[in-house]
Structure 1
Amino acid sequence: MSPPPLGRGRKRAAHAFDGALGDTELITARAALAQGRWAAVRALLVATGDDWDRRGHRVTVLAQESSTQAWARDWLLAEPESADAAVLLAVASVQRALNGKEKPDQARKACHSAVALAPADPTPWLGLLMLERTLGSDEDVVRLFDEVRHRHPDHHHAHHLMTARLAERRPEAGQDPLHEVYDFAGWSAEQAPADSPLAILPVVAHAERYRVLAAAGWEPADPVASGHWAGRRARQVMKAAFDWWLEWERDDHPRSYVDLNFLAHAKFCEGRGAEAAALFHRIGPHVTPAPWGYPDRDPYTAFRAARDSVLGAA
């Protein structure tokens, strides 16, 4: 069932967020793992291969399940040389550490063990970045971000984590257009290939910065009433992201087989997202098999409606 259209209120329970983002293969493997059948996860990760963005997404979603660590440990005992088992165990340990159910040093050790088995894989480094994004120093976060980028320069999840961390600096500066989070997002978008979904990172930066300002009491809880999205810079950012989205949806686009909803993924990172980003999650009918998009989603209609609602019709 599709969520209600823009402008209608909804109860929280009516739109529970699923980090799987419509990846049916992932959803099936996750259900099997919950029953202790880790062979389905093994097949899923083998099929994923070195599609690092998709691998990071799938491993992170699987790791969020409460039983994953135990089953991943059983898998690793059965196949001690399995890099996939080690990576899944590592990220599951990170999730437990972030939930206060395991010591962070144990999660760090598990991640480094996974690195030893899969040195080219950015996913265990992503796990460490997820951990230190919450617990570590700025130097730790930057170092781990560089480790991920060394293996996959355009890793979207790592860029989202870094954006969220930078957005939390100097909340007292308010809507400073020169804040470092905007510089980072702009630099990342400029450095990425022309068809990279990192083009939308400046929008994520605005959303994450709003989250921080609202939490600190510098902005109202309602993003529409804040004016945060109404300034000239915000309009430029929104237009650039909207133009990129239209380009991405072209039938002849070189990567048109992937429908990446990175505004939704901003919410996926760490299981939370900016209040402003929620404006883009109210969707219309559109079928896509791609794991990064929601089923029954029309990005063009949803983005245009959200843009017009917040900024006024172009």
Structure 2
Amino acid sequence: AAAPHDPDALLVKAELAVRRAWESPVRAEQLREVGPLITAAAESDPRDPVPWRLALDHARGTHATHTVFEALWEQAVRRSSHHYGCHVAALRYLSAAWYGSHRECFDFAERAAEDALPGSLVRALPLRAAFALLMEGPGARTTSVQEERIDAAADLAIELSASFTPGDPWPAEVRNLLAFVLVARGRWEEALEQFRRIGPLAASFPWSSVSEDPLGRFLEARDDTRLRVACAAPIPGRADRGGPGGHYA
């Protein structure tokens, strides 16, 4: 109220309007009405990439064409070529669930990760493409090539996670997503290491995608991972008792 033309105030106003519109049963109609708010936020600070992240989410919700999307994406990367939020918004538009395909999604994510600076969260973008593929639904089958891309995305995200200290809040969501993907792939020891690095920083995403109780789902996955790793560990003193001539107590 005190500074109605402040760029940050305009951005927060636009962000709230977009979020509320997404929750509406008439999403596309509501989103079209908030378009001028995004424009005002972008014009108030021409250097800020965040209004363009909102514009990309807006484009997805209003069924914008690829031509419109590409024009918005150009504006976003012109302001910040490695902005994580803009990359995530673009990846969602290109996902198979919206206006692209799994191949297009992976291609975009892998190119972005390759070009990203060391330590940038953009290097975890292929992990989001992997998650989108894994969330296809029960009975969905993946090809060997797709599985290789999922594992490569996880490997890259493990490398990124290792560059941050355990319990760091900045990569917490990426680590939660990484733990989810590693659990889905049955990579239990690596998943347990990510749960250790997450510490108390459980994020609602991605667990809210598979449960109405995201914290409960996180704790369940962590406990299950601990149990599987413990069951697979050799029992001290029994390592040589299963061979020829050996016996079990």
TM-score, length-scaled by structure 1: 0.51
Residue equivalent to 2:59: 132
Residues 181 and 87 of structure 1, relative CA distance in 2, 3 Å threshold: same
Q: Closer, same or farther in 2 for the Cα pair 1:250/1:264, shift >3 Å?
A: closer
Q: C-alpha root-mean-square deviation of aligned residues, in Å? A: 4.4
Amino acid at match of 1:220: G
Q: State whether residues 87 and 124 of structure 1, in contact with CA within 8 Å, keep that contact through their aligned partners in structure 2.
A: yes
- Within 1, Cα distance between the matches of 2:38 and 2:98? 31
Q: Which residue of 2 aligns with 1:296?
A: none
Residue 165 of structure 1: aligned partner: 93
Distance 2:182 2:58 in 1: 23
1:151 is aligned to 79
Q: How does 1:22-33 map to 2 (within 5 A)?
A: none
Matching residue of 1:94? 18
CA distance in 2, matches of 1:264, 1:117: 35
Q: 1:242 aligns with which of 154, 158, 161?
A: 158
User: Cα distance, 1:257 vs. partner?
Assistant: 8.1
Trace 1:170-185 onto structure 2 (pairs within 5 A): 179-185=103-109
Q: Distance in 1 between matches of 2:166 and 2:65?
A: 42
Q: How far apart, in 1, do the equivalents of 2:31 and 2:50 lie?
A: 17
SS of the equivalent of 2:59 reads helix
- Equivalent residue number for residue 240 of structure 2: none
Q: 1:286 aligns with which of 199, 203, 215?
A: 199
- Separation (CA, whole Å) in 2 of partners of 1:150 and 1:243: 28
Number of residue equivalences = 200
Change (3 A) 1:245 1:91: same
What letter matches 2:74 in structure 1?
A: D
Cα distance between partner residues in 2 of 1:150 and 1:195: 21
Q: 1:262 corresponds to which residue?
A: 174
Structure showing greater Rg: 2
In 1, the alpha carbon distance for the partners of 2:99 and 2:57 equals 21
Match of 2:121 among 188, 197, 214: 197
Q: Is the 8 A contact 1:156 1:198 kept in 2?
A: yes
Greater RCO, CA 8 A, separation 6+: 1
Structure 1, unmatched stretches of 5+, are 1-74, 267-274, 293-301
CA contact (8 A) 1:207 1:277 kept: no
What is the SS of the residue equivalent to 2:32? helix
Contact 1:199 1:241 in 2 (8 A): yes
SS of the equivalent of 1:231 reads helix
The aligned amino acid for 1:261 is E
Unaligned 5+ segments in structure 2 are 185-190, 206-221, 234-249
1:167 is displaced (CA, Å) by: 2.0
Residues in 2 aligned to 1:141 and 1:264: alpha-carbon distance in whole angstroms = 29
CA–CA separation in structure 1 for the residues paired with 2:30 and 2:73: 22
Q: What's the CA shift string for 1:252-303, capped at 9, x where partnerless?
A: xxxx78444325579xxxxxxxx85996799457357xxx9xxxxxxxxx7x
Identity of aligned residues (%): 19
Q: Please name the residue that 1:51 is paired with.
A: none
CA distance 1:161–1:109, shift in 2 (3 Å): same
CA contact (8 A) 2:7 2:41 kept: yes
1:233 Cα deviation from its structure 2 partner: 3.2
TM-score, structure 2 normalization: 0.62
Q: For each residue in 1:200-256, what CA deviation from the matched residue of structure 2 results, as whole angstroms up to 9, or x when unmatched?
A: 111111111333x32xxxx527xxxx56799333323222221221133389xxxx7
8 A Cα contact 1:125 1:148, kept in partner: yes
Distance 1:132 1:153 in 2: 19
Deviation string for 1:113-159 (max 9, x for gaps)?
A: 12221111122222111111222222222222222222122121221
**Quick check: 2:94–2:104 contact (8 Å CA) kept in 1?**
yes
